[in-house]
Structure formats: structure tokens, C-alpha cells
Amino acid sequence: MSQWTHVAGIIRLDALAFLGGNIEKELQNAFGNSVNYEDSEDKWYSCNVPCGSEGSLEYSIQKTAHSDSQLAWGVLYIWGDLRDYQDQNKIYDWVKESIGKLQSISVRSCNVKIDVEYHGSYLVYDLMDDETFDTNILMIEIK
């Protein structure tokens, strides 16, 4: 019997596109390279996101802003079913470290649910300081 970890999440991103920079590229650099079961060996070696025996977590970037002056720039979706994987802390670290790499983008909201079969469910979420606007990424076990 295999051990599976299921992940689903969404991160709302705020940025003003008119300030310049390639936001999609910054997100890709921060969140890394994913891999699928059928990918080449080279792609498996370049994978730097949490990965099970059949592939890694995946993410998709979706711009939702209708104009360059809209603050709600877009969202980043995260999903995956990791086979032979049970370390929720590594997923938490990946989310936290990836967000920490962002320079021209701020996180308005982060919600990532991690279900580790036979072990528990966890929620990775943000807690923004209203005075400093610093975002703290936390994880709790949910029952």
C-alpha cells in the first residue's frame, strides 16, 4: 500500500504591474521547477519542489487584474498527489521559503491544505501584521 499526501492551495498576490518587472518570471523563480512522472531524467534532476515517487507538487499562475493599476494582481494555485511522501513540514518550508523570495509581489492571502494519509491534515496560512504589513506563514494541524 502506498503512502499519499494530497495538497490543494491558493495564494492571492498583490502587485502593481506598472511598477515594472516580470511578475510571472519572479513567481517561477521563487516557486521552482515541478516534474511529472513521464518527464525526462534531466527534468527530474532540476525539480526543486516537494516531490513523491511519481511527480511533484504543481502550481499555476493566473493573472486576474484587468488593468495595470489594480492591486489584486492574481493568484497562484498549488495542487498535487504525492506518492510515497509524508513530510508536511517540507511542504510548509517550500511554501514559506518561496513566498520569502518574492520582491515585487506581496501575499494578500495564503491557504494551502495538506492531507497526509493515516497521519493528519494541516493548514498553511498567512497572518499579516496590520502595522508593518509583514506576512508570517504558519502551519497548524487540523482535526
pLDDT in tens, 4-13: 999 999 999 9
Query: What size, in residues, is the chain?
Result: 143
Q: In the prediction, which pLDDT does 65 show? A: 80
pTM score, two decimals? Answer: 0.92
Q: What whole-number distance in Å separates Cα of residue 125 and Cα of residue 52?
A: 23
pLDDT of residue 59: 98
Domain at 86, CATH number: 3.30.70
Mean pLDDT of 90-98: 97
Q: Which residues form the domain of 52?
A: 4-142
% residues pLDDT > 70 (the chain): 96
Model pLDDT, residue 60: 98
**Number of continuous H segments (helices) and E segments (strands) in the chain:** 3, 8
User: Quick one: what percent of the chain has pLDDT higher than 90?
Assistant: 73
Alpha carbon separation from 141 to 25, 113, 121 (Å, rounded): 32, 10, 6
At residue 18 the predicted structure's pLDDT band, cuts being 50, 70 and 90, is low
User: What is the number of structural domains in the chain?
Assistant: 1
Determine the pLDDT at residue 101: 95
Q: What is the per-residue pLDDT for 17?
A: 66
- Assess whether pLDDT exceeds 70 at residue 3: yes
Question: What's the pLDDT tens digit per position in 31-66?
Answer: 999 999 999 999 999 999 999 999 999 999 999 888
Per-residue pLDDT at 20: 66
